Structure 1
């Protein structure tokens, strides 16, 4: 009975890590596609030019893919060292940026507006255009942020409530008055329950995976036995 349970646990661990490996492959593929097709897509911050959506997705995908593969190998081979490797908790991804305050983030984004018309920054322009058009906002705090960033009284055309070519240069045009930072904060507040539920599910899956891994690890360590199907 014990042998059957441990053998089942072994393959549950394999399936668990296989799912994470597949997720890592998917994230890596999406990151590479973003990097090739959009360049520096969503590189809003001049302080961290490498902190783009593409680079972040590639890094997360690579870490999850490698640890998922090693976890699969450890489960099948019943290797004690590899058993201790678990796919990283995605909630840790936000920890490096936890030192940013809303005011620091706002100022950094405002500084990044100056890169809008810079060369080889198609990704940033696309990102701002998409956000302003979809969320009906303009600039970080207000459309006047663009005046300072572009050093003239113009805004991107996607800031116009009635969009047409060069409408951002027309002083009589009506621009979206709310800033995009406020819109993002509002969206996060409206969806905090959904985000909290997703985070809780991820945490539970992580804890279950760690529990299964430790049970199998300690049994192999104590008995030195392996269980083949």
Structure 2
């Protein structure tokens, strides 16, 4: 009877090891996904950063990259702790999982709060940024961002195309355009001379609405990734506790 009990306990430990090892592979892949999302956010959408006075957007991308690296390293520690059955390393691994989980909750709350501030900042500053900095010397990044924003989201102006009437560049004597060429449905040189709806984008709410929708969609992506990893972490913490208890009770 005693031998049978010992055998069952050993089999349970082995099962837990394999389950935790499988979890760590999934966790490692999740870390790679977070890292990829961070890099994608920074590389593909970085043009819009110049339209925001806040560093929240770029900071969130760097946080994602850092989080991805930490998750990958944590997964590696978990694999080592599982394979070598090191109880002390399992405790370190459990603490790391718990710390990341708590940081995700804090980051989620901050992201929601910051989005409200970012939304207000957009409404206050985007129009001024477009009017004062577009096509001005030393503001090439803003010009590129505005052109990309208007073409990618098929919009014109901050609230509407009439915002461009107050632009320093539009009001210049040498300029004959009514709106930038990037407002045109079919962009070409000097197409901005005519601001008729058949020629330029007339989106209700302007580019602000489109940019708000884009930022919100990014938060949804981050939220979905965060929830997925949080669920994995809860499962991992449960497996880790069970394995630690099993190793502690095992006589071998």
TM-score (norm. length: structure 1)? 0.70
Following superposition, the deviation at residue 52 of structure 1 comes to: 5.3
Alignment of 1:28-107 (within 5 A): 29-30=39-40, 33=43, 41-48=47-54, 50-51=55-56, 56-77=60-81, 78-86=89-97, 89=104, 92=108, 94-95=111-112, 97-100=114-117, 102-107=119-124
Task: State the alpha-carbon separation in 2 of the partners of residues 199 and 33 from structure 1.
Answer: 16
Quickly say closer, same or farther: Cα 1:118–1:68, change in 2 above 3 A: farther
Normalized per residue, which structure has more helix?
A: 2
Task: State the alpha-carbon separation in 1 of the partners of residues 212 and 140 from structure 2.
Answer: 26
Following superposition, the deviation at residue 30 of structure 1 comes to: 4.1
Q: Note if 1:214 corresponds to 2:241.
A: no
Match of 1:181 in 2: 208
Following superposition, the deviation at residue 217 of structure 1 comes to: 3.4
Quickly say closer, same or farther: Cα 1:31–1:120, change in 2 above 3 A: farther
Task: State the alpha-carbon separation in 2 of the partners of residues 172 and 23 from structure 1.
Answer: 43
> Are the aligned partners of 2:48 and 2:149 in contact in 1 as well (CA < 8 Å)?
no
> Are the aligned partners of 1:11 and 1:76 in contact in 2 as well (CA < 8 Å)?
no
Quickly say closer, same or farther: Cα 1:125–1:18, change in 2 above 3 A: same
> Are the aligned partners of 2:34 and 2:225 in contact in 1 as well (CA < 8 Å)?
no
TM-score (norm. length: structure 2)? 0.65
Quickly say closer, same or farther: Cα 1:101–1:57, change in 2 above 3 A: closer
Alignment of 1:132-211 (within 5 A): 132-150=150-168, 152-153=170-171, 154-168=178-192, 170=193, 174-178=199-203, 179-184=206-211, 202=225, 205-211=228-234
> Are the aligned partners of 1:43 and 1:123 in contact in 2 as well (CA < 8 Å)?
no
Per-residue Cα deviation, 1:110-159 (whole angstroms, up to 9, x for no partner): 23323333445444333322231233210121112233343644432111
Give the number of equivalent residue pairs.
215
Q: Which runs of 5+ in 1 are unaligned?
A: none
> Are the aligned partners of 1:159 and 1:175 in contact in 2 as well (CA < 8 Å)?
yes
Task: State the alpha-carbon separation in 1 of the partners of residues 13 and 77 from structure 2.
Answer: 20
Per-residue Cα deviation, 1:159-212 (whole angstroms, up to 9, x for no partner): 1244321333x25664322212234567899x8xxx97x678646533431222
Structure number with greater CO (CA < 8 Å, separation at least 6) is: 2
Q: Which runs of 5+ in 2 are unaligned?
A: 1-10, 82-88, 172-177
